[in-house]
Chains A and B, each alone.
Chain A
Amino acid sequence: QKEVEQNSGPLSVPEGAIASLNCTYSDRGSQSFFWYRQYSGKSPELIMSIYSNGDKEDGRFTAQLNKASQYVSLLIRDSQPSDSATYLCAVNILNTGNQFYFGTGTSLTVIP
């Protein structure tokens, strides 16, 4: 079982809608959670980090963490065509060093 699971998609939403991206993780020692955006042919770009249960908002992005359910999500409000990309969830697990474990990513398409 992989440490981090994501629905590969593709997920399609109309422009202006809310896109919801989900990620589950298996290790209860996971302590830090990150969302990256990766455009085709480019490297991952950090969007947000979240460390505590609850919501964290940054502009149009909201990360939600529920450690009891081992679940982290990313909401993108007012989705734009430029948000079309693959979104990677990453976790750091306590006592396994500073490496990140990544999911396979969810492909998002925002339709104009």
Chain B
Amino acid sequence: GAGVSQSPRYKVAKRGQDVALRCDPISGHVSLFWYQQALGQGPEFLTYFQNEAQLDKSGLPSDRFFAERPEGSVSTLKIQRTQQEDSAVYLCASSLGGTGDFPYEQYFGPGTRLTVT
């Protein structure tokens, strides 16, 4: 079946603009994760959804970052008033199991490269 998809693939924003990044997980996957990857670094956890419930948002760097998954499928990561330090690749991953299940493999989408100028 289809993998995880993300859009847009590239986004250039002027400092202070709001952006919205979309993730469409693998069909039937309960868990959805957002990670941020800076150049030369490994992905860093931002937030986690099980179905429509946001169970962990401990990695969101500031209150300018907001994520939702209202119907338990597609998710949107929104960044308000973007800053230069927000420039990174934003990766979405999905996983078959949920909390309480043995950790399942996570499958990543292609990512959105955000550049804030």
Contact = CB atoms under 8 A, between A and B. Distances in A.
Contacts of A90: 42
Size category of the A interface is 20 to 34
B49 to A, nearest CB: 10
A49 to B, nearest CB: 5
Size category of the B interface is 20 to 34
A31 B40 CA distance: 26
Interface stretch (A14-22, A60-68, A71-79, A99-107): A99-107
Interface in B35-52: 35, 40-45, 48, 50
Interface of B: 31, 33, 35, 40-45, 48, 50, 55-56, 59, 89, 91, 95, 97-99, 102-103, 105-111
Interface of A: 4, 31-32, 34, 36, 42-46, 49, 51, 88, 90, 92, 97-105
